[in-house]
Structure 1
Amino acid sequence: MRTISVEEFGQAMNQKPLAVVDIRPFDDYQAWHIEGPRIESQHLDGTSILRDAKTLQALDSETPWVVVCALGETAKAVGAVMDREGYDVTVLEGGMAAWNRYHELHAVAEEPTFSLFQIQRRGKGCLSYLLASNGEAMLFDPSQFVDVYQRILDQNGWRLKAVADTHVHADHITGGFFLSERYHVPFWRGQNSPGVSLLQDGQEFKVGAVTVKAIASPGHTPDSFSFLIAGRYLLTGDALFVSGVGRPDLGGHAKEWGEDLHRSLQQLQSLAPETVILPAHYAHWSEINDHGIVAGTLGDLQAQNPLLHEPLESFVNHVEASASAMTPPNYEPIVAFNVSQKGPLDPAILRSWEIGPNRCAAPA
């Protein structure tokens, strides 16, 4: 029986088909499991396997299987049974908790004066961004796993100049506070609270040779901002996704915030159609394009997303319907922490809050 780290697994799933058997309770599996274009996923109850090895007959005995549980421990026991029964088996180290922490770096743009990277958190569907130019760097929407960003900065010799969030996130803990404290740099956001520098509409930042412009984009939340980089790359946060728009209902003001979102999307659509849209989340692996990033030009999204052409009333009616959808897991304590660091600072607790899907989009 072998084991595989989430880093090794993440790289492998980009290159070849993988068969995964998830042994968590079925409700947990149904709500959230490993997905991808080359992933064959199957559920079998781990307790049933440990009780009776004949349960494994539901699996193809000729297929190499990667066994996944919540934390990696039960998978070891199940993997031992599978190994004894003659299966080719590998156990994912740390289980879904480790998969939830896995980040993957992808280049969006490599220009003569700057580089822009998308950092994908595959298990959560969260996207953060790093802009680097002339030895300086700025991070956008970082996760709480700040060592990931420190490694990237250190490996490239980039000096972090600032951190910014597009909005107060409801599905994951921001890394803004932690990075601000570690690097002694400002943490910019549209919502004012201790430890935060307040963004202004139209405010500009200089990162090396590149200009970043903050654009107020309320709707998903009242504090939402987009960031236009070099006039060509737009970080839209949760205002506009590749396959939908942001949910305006999480604060309990779906109609009012929906009207704000409509106005923000109309404003953003005044940009050039070749503007590259880079959201803060994706809902499904199919949103990752052939270049390995979640992105689309504004013109393409306008052609594909009918919500961008809806009149105000019908737009609000559509996005209000998302109010009946499931909310992100633990979103109330996550929002409270992200607003002003109210809550425990125990990393284990903060990580446990994030287990599960993001649920931040209203589909087109």
Structure 2
Amino acid sequence: MTTNTVTKLSAKEVAQLVLEGKELFIIDVRNETDFADWKIEGRSVEIINIPYFDLIDGVDPALDQIPDGKPVLVVCAKEGSSIFVAEKIAEAGRSNVSYLEGGMKSWSEYLEPVKVADLTAGGELYQFVRIGKGCLSYVVLSEGEATIIDTSRMIDQYEVFLQSKGVKLVHTIDTHLHADHISGGRALAEKYGSTYHLPEKDAGEVTFYYEKLEEGKDITVGGERIIVHPIYSPGHTIGSTSFIIDNRYLLSGDILFIESIGRPDLAGLAEDWVGDLRETLYSRYKNLSEDLIVLPAHFGKITELGEKGLVSGRLGDLYKQNPGLNITDEGEFRKTVTENLPPQPNAYQEIRQTNMGKINPNEEEQREMEIGPNRCAVHDN
């Protein structure tokens, strides 16, 4: 019998298939608990979970479920188990079988750059979609300079992008002290002699130098002065800061998402911060232009990804459609954002300590700390 060839697909290639809506049948061979916690999702993705140990003695349980004619992708945590299963499926006569190179670890770390818009002063704004984690970061380009907001720790991917654009990094900014992922902002700024910015109220325990984000203190990118206006917007953390870029785009950090709102409990102070969160969402943001396009720091569901993967929404529309912006009773709002919240992010305390500079885990430890979905929102369920 002729053995069909097994191919490998990179996280980038799989992301392109997902974002383009291509049909894909996935067999995830991780254990049931890991699969239930976090998986590859997409509008045209069909996925089943059969643990690896159920397939060691034969792949018939998988063969019985594979639709005819569909490409098959086998996925595991790191790669090895998926290669074994993919080869067995191909040996059984199935064609168009592949495995995810680097496993779900590589899926967690891939960043897809999506152009948001050309800016009126001649620059560009990009959103970097970390599709496997739900994290979003932003790059502003103008006149040979760049600023990165809410940088993920995979700084090499930003470096490749900046080099392709021929620009110099002048600023990195974190909208708040992150608890779900390790920031690459400080490392990137140190490497290129750039300025790292952080809200002062979130930086009480940090061990390194940073430039304070202050309301009304503009951050200039490029000779044409593409201005970034900080708006102090506490709630998710006490220092959470959002920005307006080009008078058109509201970078809301983890305060406001497209289908949900930020949770206030990741520093153990939900009862203290819930009032700040409501004030920000129901007053500060409410007084902004309804035509602003919200660009958040996370997404919770694949349905929040629009054309080419862009995650965005008009502020006025969010006030009509987002459940977290339509809780009129203050007591009900307080209950919603302090009770029955999703599980807290994996290793979030260690991630916060890393982002403060208190601990310095190695690369593999950082990967393990970040594995799994982000859980920064209230209404993700």
- Listed as ranges, the matches of 1:89-100 within 5 Å are 89-100=97-108
1:313 matched to 2:318? The reply is: no
5+ long unaligned stretches in structure 1: none
Take 2:26 and 2:292, find their aligned partners in 1: how far apart are those partners? Answer: 38
Which of 347, 363, 368 pairs up with 1:347?
363
Contact 1:61 1:86 in 2 (8 A): no
Residue 20 (structure 1) aligns with: 26
CA distance in 2, matches of 1:173, 1:361: 17
Q: Which amino acid aligns with 1:71?
A: K
- Matching residue of 2:66: 60
Q: Measure, in 1, the Cα distance between the counterparts of 2:227 and 2:118.
A: 16
Q: 1:306, CA displacement in angstroms? A: 4.3
For the pair 1:37 / 2:37, whether they are aligned, the reply is no
Match of 2:214 in 1: 200
Is this contact kept in 2: 1:275–1:298, CA < 8 A? yes
- Secondary structure, counterpart of 1:55 in structure 2: helix
Deviation of 1:321 (Å) = 1.9
Code of the residue aligned with 2:288 in structure 1: it is L
Does residue 143 of the first structure (1) align with residue 152 of the second (2)?
Answer: yes
Q: 1:230 to 1:152 in 2, by over 3 A?
A: same
Q: Deviations over 1:245-298 (max 9, x none)?
A: 100112222122110111112202211110010000000010012353110011
1:246 aligns to 2:262 (yes or no): yes
Instruction: Give the letter aligned to residue 46 of structure 1.
Output: Y
Contact 1:61–1:87, Cα closer than 8 Å, also in 2: no
Alpha carbons 1:141, 1:280 under 8 Å: kept:
yes
Q: Are 2:80 and 1:73 aligned?
A: yes
Spell out structure 1 runs of 4+ moving beyond 6 A.
none
Q: Does the alignment pair 1:328 with 2:345?
A: yes
How many residues matched? 362
> Are 2:25 and 1:8 equivalent residues in the alignment?
no
Deviations 1:101-147 (A, max 9, x none): 11101011113422110000000000000011111111000100000
Name the structure 2 match of 1:237: 253
Code of the aligned partner of 1:242: I
Instruction: Note the C-alpha offset of 1:165.
Output: 0.5
TM-score (norm 1): 0.96
Please report how far the alpha carbon of residue 311 of structure 1 lies from its aligned counterpart in structure 2 after TM superposition.
4.2
Confirm or deny that 1:218 pairs with 2:227: no
Letter in 1 for 2:363: P
Aligned to 2:285: 268
Alignment of 1:84-233 (within 5 A): 84-88=91-95, 89-112=97-120, 113-190=122-199, 191-192=202-203, 193=206, 194-208=208-222, 209=224, 210-233=226-249
> What residue in structure 2 maps to residue 83 of structure 1?
90
Provide the C-alpha distance between the structure 2 equivalents of 1:345 and 1:181, rounded to a whole number of angstroms. 18
Query: With structure 2 as the length reference, what TM-score do the two structures score?
Result: 0.92
Q: What is the RMSD computed on CA atoms of the aligned residues? A: 1.5
Q: Name the counterpart of 1:300.
A: 317
The alpha-carbon distance between structure 1 residues 307 and 99, as it changes in their structure 2 partners (threshold 3 A), is closer
Q: Which amino acid aligns with 1:68?
A: V
Distance between the aligned counterparts of 2:158 and 2:258, measured in 1? 25
The CA deviation at 1:331 is 0.5
